[in-house]
Amino acid sequence: MIVSTKGRYALRVMIDLAENQSEKYIPLKAIAARQGISEKYLENILKSLVQHGLLQGLRGKGGGYRLTRPAAQYRISDILLLTEGSLAPVACLEPGAAGCARLAECRTYELWRGLDEVIRDYLDKITLADLARPAQTGDHYVI
């Protein structure tokens, strides 16, 4: 499994929104600048996240994006499944894959199935809140 740029950027955007969440919407321009991602490319990712209910979007003055629920309620596996379509390590384990003609004599099927379970179990346990660092307030002046 190789996570695409789209998947990596989606995670970065979601973490950014979790770290900077407030009652206000966060403009696309601000997210793009903080993350060093092209606004045009980011638009496509954000559109998908809004369509699938992970974000709320608002157009116009004061518009932008924000999370639809607390960061602790977003599993990393859900974000990656949305952007990647599959987390399977091999094609025969992808959702809707055609039956493999070699399955009966496949020596590696159980290995790949086990790896698939480990990946899913691991990513299911990590939330957006686990990855986000809330903004620090106050002066941290040290002498």
- pLDDT at position 138: 52
Q: What mean pLDDT value characterizes the chain? A: 90
Tokens of 32: 């793009």
139: phi then psi, degrees, rounded to nearest 5: -85, 135
Q: Do 116 and 88 touch, CB atoms closer than 8 A?
A: yes
Mean pLDDT of 101-105: 86
pLDDT at 13 > cutoff 70: yes
CB burial class (10 A; 0-12, 13-18, 19+) of residue 90? middle
Chain position carrying tokens 């990513």:
123
Would you call 61 exposed, middle or buried from its count of C-beta atoms within 10 A (0-12, 13-18, 19+)? exposed
| Confidence label for 104 from pLDDT (cuts 50, 70 and 90) | confident
Residue 134 confidence (pLDDT) above 70: no
The pLDDT tens digits for 15-72 are 999 999 888 899 999 999 999 999 999 999 999 999 999 999 999 888 999 999 999 9
Q: Which residues of 110-131 are buried (b: 16+ CB within 10 A; e: fewer)?
A: eebeebbeebeeebeeebbeeb
Residue type (1 letter), 74: Y
* Per-residue pLDDT, 70: 95
Contact 128, 15 (CB under 8 A): yes
